[in-house]
Amino acid sequence: MLQTPAPHKLDVWLPRLSNIAQVVLLGLTAGAFYLTVLPLYQKALLDEAFARKEIELKQVTATLDAKYAKLREVAVRAFVINADADCSGFTTMMRRTRDRTYSGPSTFDIDVKKCLLDHEEKAPSLSELRPSDRVFFRATLAVIADQIAKLQSDAAASYTRAETDINASNIDAYANKQEFSARLMSILSRQIKPEDLAMYKRKQAIDALREERVSTYHRALTAQLRCLITMKWPDQQQIDATINK
């Protein structure tokens, strides 16, 4: 019976070494996956989660900014309404209508710039503004107040000139500007002397011209103050600049 020769050591160790190499390779592959692929995957997950949170934050911020912008508009509108009434003399006129003994300042006696700045300082609605917006509003109002003060000065001078601005070419138009005055003039023409009628007619014309010039000033003042409602705030100006680039 033939005896099987003993396997060579090399034949024994080659399979063993091959198995060991495969195990080592598998370990290296697992280590490389753990050290490279897995961190990259985890980072991708974190980036995705961060991107979602960033989008949510932007949406919340945009919602809050929109609500604040509306609140700011309401606050400024309330200021404009109150300041317009007080600083134009309208409040005084209404109080005189109710109380003949009231002697508040008339339209051209009011220090309109001081009146507007005092209203800004005390306006409860403006306390809702952010500090930066309050500073911007105050600076803008100071510029507008200077412009209104110039309008007031010019209107006061025009009001004073009304007596000399009434002449033969415009006295009839102003004397009969209001329907009631025209009817009254027609009645008086048959009851009083011509010279008295002429004096009354001139007085009516002067009063009508003065009223017209006061109304023109009031409209100009209101238009200037309403610019505060429609003005662009620094945050909106920055947004527009970014969009237009």
What does the pLDDT average to over 187-197?
68
**Does pLDDT of 165 surpass 50?**
yes
Cα 126 to Cα 137: distance, rounded to the nearest angstrom: 9
CA distance linking residue 143 with residue 146, whole number of Å: 5
Higher pLDDT, 208 or 148: 148
Residues in the chain: 245
Residue 233 has pLDDT above 80, yes or no: yes
Q: What pLDDT is stored for residue 153 in this prediction? A: 95
Mean pLDDT of 22-37: 71
Q: Does residue 237 register a pLDDT over 80? A: no
φ and ψ at residue 17, rounded to 5 degrees: -65, -35
pLDDT of residue 11: 61
pTM of the shown model: 0.69
Greater model confidence, 59 or 124: 124
pLDDT digits (tens, 9 = 90+) for 77-131: 999 999 999 999 888 777 766 666 655 568 889 999 999 999 999 999 899 899 9
What mean pLDDT do residues 49-62 have? 79
